[in-house]
Structure 1
Amino acid sequence: MGIKGFVEGGIASIVAGSTTHPLDLIKVRMQLQGESPAPVAALRPALAFQSAAGTHTISIPTPPPPPRVGPISVGARIVQQEGVSALFSGVSATVLRQTLYSTTRMGLYDILKQKWSDPRSGNMPLPQKITAGLIAGAIGAAVGNPADVSMVRMQADGRLPVAQRRNYKSVVDAIQRMVRDEGVTSLWRGSSLTVNRAMLVTASQLASYDQFKEMILEKGVMKDGLGTHVTASFAAGFVAAVASNPVDVIKTRVMNMKVQPGETPPYSGALDCALKTVRAEGPMALYKGFIPTVSRQGPFTVVLFVTLEQELFGFHKHGSEAISNVIACLVLILALVCSK
């Protein structure tokens, strides 16, 4: 029971995360739109003009923010300016994140589901589903935060001027450089937000999938099969997107901020980031990137649960076939983690 949930859940998440990565990248770029640039240093006194009437200073008007664009325009701009391969920037971090985060949360949720389900019906009450999702999501996020920070930075790198880009070669290079340049604690920057988001996503995604599936089967709308799995998983993806998007916007901005030695960071924490974002851009800024979030979360959840429900990796079989499937997937995972 235990190892099966971890391995199947992890591999299914890696497949889902890799195939929907371009949508996730577009979402991150949209979430950073309109973010206030680093403050410009004040003019030195030498640039002040003295006159009989007193001292006059030059005031430089702040340029208006660039217009916000939609997901299709963002994707087209990425391809035009950075090439098609840029849509998969940070895919190695996505693979590592899913390996650490989703393997943990899916396995733990499966264990809790087995323990808390009614022995007669095999179903688990909704409050216990939500509780299981909150617990599994929190632990998974804490484990996977270093890969999450790396992923956000690698996805956002292309929007920076060339001189300011981090140019991480892979997720391994990103983690090594963060530890060397910013300290080990930088790997858990925004971890409170990651945990909160993961709790919301896991509770809403996994719990709502089980709930939607049970409702469909109980009402006889469809039989237990591919149609039921796709319908329930897409509905669960929409619920997860609505619940997690505000936290995801703040998480993206906190993880992506540059903190120079001796300088005040743009945000002192999650609450400060949320307040500055709402004051500068309005409350709906917390739903920036919602369309690509739904566009990604829907297919991601469909691929995830269809992969699990159809048992595409052969864990229901015996002997060498299941083992060979896992080994093949592990080789692919290793290759992607070591690449950009």
Structure 2
Amino acid sequence: MIPFPSNLLLFSPISIFLIITSTQNPSTMGVKSFVEGGIASIIAGCSTHPLDLIKVRMQLQGENHATGRGGITRPPRVGPISVGMRIIRQDGFRALYSGVSATMLRQTLYSTTRMGLYDMLKTKWTDPNTGIIPLWQKITAGLIAGGIGAAVGNPADVAMVRMQADGRVPPAERRNYKSVFDAISRMVKNEGIGSLWRGSSLTVNRAMLVTASQLASYDQMKETILNRGWMKDGLGTHVTASFGAGFVAALMTNPVDVIKTRVMNMKVVAGKAPPYTGAVDCALKTIKAEGPMALYNGFIPTISRQGPFTIVLFVTLEQVRKLLKDY
């Protein structure tokens, strides 16, 4: 797993500044890259929020089940439709949008940063004579942009996971955050400011994998489709390339996402040892109690969410770019 540098947050503003000031016409191109990516990400995040909530609930299935004398006791798995219907039946349709304020803040911080930085790095590294950038440089740009974006957006990510997971426990045990800002303020008050970056190493690793696989594969698939003349540059190409990118991203990141969700959601009680001491401990306990395929808990809703999310993200991004091309 890629190590998370503890000073990343300190240097990320400097990194962003250096990247922006080292590109041509930064005042225009830099702002546009962030604005375009931010608008597309917020629309995509809000439109697929219920699928993300179902994914989180499924990733937490079996977490509190112990191992019996006869071996591993695995709880029955519940599918995404059943999970969704249970949420609606217990808490109403609006419960599918639990934590949507955190999703909006997360997309504003995390996705705006990663989309903008990726586009700027890609532009900077593109050969001015041929207009080509190798796949490995696209992947590198995605790794850098994803890591910085995740570090910036981790507090909203923790709040989002907790707000989405709250409905799975009895009412008396719920945190009942009123909004993302209430969640963040209460975490700081009750658990310290460090709780806002709980699971940050996982968030950064996941974001680096997501951004590298999602953005780089979209660009590569789109270029391949256009260069080989399979389709013209339009909605069909954008949908095809984005769906393929979503599948690649889901396959690469689901195991990290499961561990991230469990570490972020764990309750730490004063005077008691935390359920997990870290990401590796969480992974080992999960595999021991539930088997290795537990790391792919929620894969169906992950791809069901990642596919539409990626399609909405890139189709919206292409349209926003057309609207802002003259600015």
Query: Normalising by structure 1, what TM-score?
Result: 0.85
Change (3 A) 1:188 1:305: same
What do residues 259-310 of structure 1 show as CA deviations (whole Å, max 9, x unaligned)?
Answer: 0011000000000000000011111000000011001111111111111112
CA distance in 1, matches of 2:183, 2:104: 14
CA displacement 1:165-189 (0-9 Å, x = unmatched)? 0000000000000000000000000
Distance change >3 Å, CA 121–CA 307, structure 1 → 2? farther
1:266 maps to 275
Give me the whole-angstrom Cα distance separating, in 2, the residues matched to 1:313 and 1:172.
34
Give CA-to-partner distance per residue, 1:41-89, whole Å, 9 cap, x none: xxxxxxxxxxxxxxxxxxx999x66421100110011111110000000
Instruction: Give me the whole-angstrom Cα distance separating, in 2, the residues matched to 1:61 and 1:160.
Output: 28
**Paired residue for 1:85?**
94
TM-score with structure 2 setting the length: 0.88
Cα distance in 2 for residues equivalent to 1:211 and 1:166 = 43
Q: What is the aligned-residue RMSD (CA, Å)?
A: 2.0
Which residue is 2:244 aligned to?
Answer: 235
Corresponding residue number in structure 1 for 2:25: none
Q: Unaligned regions of 5+ residues in structure 2, if any? A: 1-28
Amino acid in structure 2 at the alignment position of 1:266: P
CA distance in 2 between partners of 1:295 and 1:123 (Å): 32
> Shift of the alpha carbon at 1:11?
1.1
Matched, 1:72 2:100: no
Q: Which residue of the other structure, out of 182, 197, 204, is the alignment partner of 2:213?
A: 204
CA contact (8 A) 1:190 1:254 kept: yes
1:67-146 paired onto structure 2 within 5 Å: 67-146=76-155
Cα distance in 2 for residues equivalent to 1:243 and 1:132: 17
Number of aligned positions between the proteins? 299
- In 2, Cα distance between equivalents of 1:11 and 1:199: 21
CA distance in 2 between counterparts of 1:225 and 1:65 reads 47
Distance change (3 Å), C-alpha of 1:313 and 1:80: farther
Q: Is the 8 A contact 2:65 2:75 kept in 1?
A: no
Query: Which secondary structure does the structure 1 equivalent of 2:323 belong to?
Result: coil
Amino acid paired to 2:149: G
Contact 2:44 2:313 in 1 (8 A): yes
**For residue 5 of structure 1, what is the amino acid of its counterpart?**
S
Q: Larger Cα Rg: Structure 1 or Structure 2?
A: 1
AA at the equivalent of 1:225: G
* 2:228 matched residue in structure 1: 219
Deviation at 1:314, TM superposition (A): 2.8
Instruction: Quote the residue 1:20 is aligned against.
Output: 48
Q: Give deviations 1:182-214, integer Å, cap 9, x for gaps.
A: 000000000000000000000000000000001
